[in-house]
Amino acid sequence: MTLTSERSLDVGPGRRWAMLGASTLAQASTAVMAHGPAFLIPALVQQEGLSLARAGLVAAAPTLGVMLTLVAWGLLTDRRGERLVLLSGLLLTSVAGLAAVLAPGVAWLTVALFLGGASAASSSAASGRVVVGWFPPRRRGLAMGIRQMSQPVGVGVAAISIAVVADAHGIHVAMWVPTIATALATVLVLVVVIDPPRPDPREQPSANPYRGNTFLARIHGVSVLLVVPQFVVWTFALVWLVQDRGWSPGAAGALVALAQVGGALGRIAAGQLSDVVGSRMRPLRWVATAAALTMAALGGAAGLDWAVAVPLIILATVVTVADNGLAFTAVAERAGPHWSGRALGIQNTSQFLTSALVPPLGGLAVTHGGYPATFALAALFPLVAIALVPVDQEPALS
Q: Could you give the CA distance from residue 369 to residue 348 in angstroms, rounded to a whole number?
A: 30
Residue 352 · residue 118 · CB < 8 Å: no
Q: Could you give the CA distance from residue 196 to residue 134 in angstroms, rounded to a whole number?
A: 6
Nearest to 87 by CA among 146, 134, 130, 135: 130
pLDDT of amino acid 203:
52
Mind listing the pLDDT tens digit of every residue in the chain (398 residues)? Answer: 333 333 444 678 889 999 999 999 999 999 899 888 877 888 888 888 888 778 878 888 888 898 899 889 988 988 888 999 999 999 999 999 999 999 999 999 999 999 999 999 999 878 888 888 898 888 888 888 888 888 778 877 887 788 788 888 999 999 999 999 999 999 999 999 999 887 665 555 567 888 888 999 999 999 999 999 998 887 788 788 888 888 887 788 788 778 878 888 888 999 999 999 999 999 999 999 999 999 999 999 999 999 999 999 999 989 998 888 899 889 988 888 788 888 888 998 898 888 878 878 888 888 899 999 999 999 999 999 999 999 988 877 76
Q: Could you give the CA distance from residue 24 to residue 154 in angstroms, rounded to a whole number?
A: 10
pLDDT of amino acid 202:
57
Nearest to 224 by CA among 346, 72, 364, 374: 346
pLDDT of amino acid 74:
87
pLDDT of amino acid 3:
37
The dihedrals phi and psi of 8, each to the nearest 5 degrees, come to -65, -25
Q: Could you give the CA distance from residue 386 to residue 291 in angstroms, rounded to a whole number?
A: 10
CA dihedral 371, 375, 376, 381 (to 10 degrees): 140
Nearest to 127 by CA among 72, 91, 177, 77: 77
Kindly give the residue spans of alpha helices, DSSP state H, lying in the chain.
3-7, 13-35, 41-48, 52-80, 82-102, 106-120, 122-134, 137-147, 150-169, 171-174, 176-192, 215-243, 249-277, 281-303, 309-319, 323-335, 340-369, 371-378, 380-388
Three-class secondary structure of residue 81 per DSSP: coil
In the chain, the domains with their CATH numbers are 3-192 (1.20.1250.20), 215-393 (1.20.1250.20)
Nearest to 175 by CA among 106, 109, 87, 121: 109
CA dihedral 259, 36, 327, 147 (to 10 degrees): -80
Give, in order, the Cα–Cα distances in Å from 327 to each of 206, 207, 278.
21, 21, 14
Transcribe 128-179 into DSSP letters: HHHHHHHS-HHHHHHHHHHHTTHHHHHHHHHHHHHHHHHHHH-HHHHTHHHH
Q: Which amino acid is at 23?
A: S
pLDDT of amino acid 6:
37
Q: Could you give the CA distance from residue 280 to residue 101 in angstroms, rounded to a whole number?
A: 43
pLDDT of amino acid 100:
95
Nearest to 381 by CA among 329, 316, 306: 316
pTM comes to: 0.80
Residue 393 DSSP symbol:
G
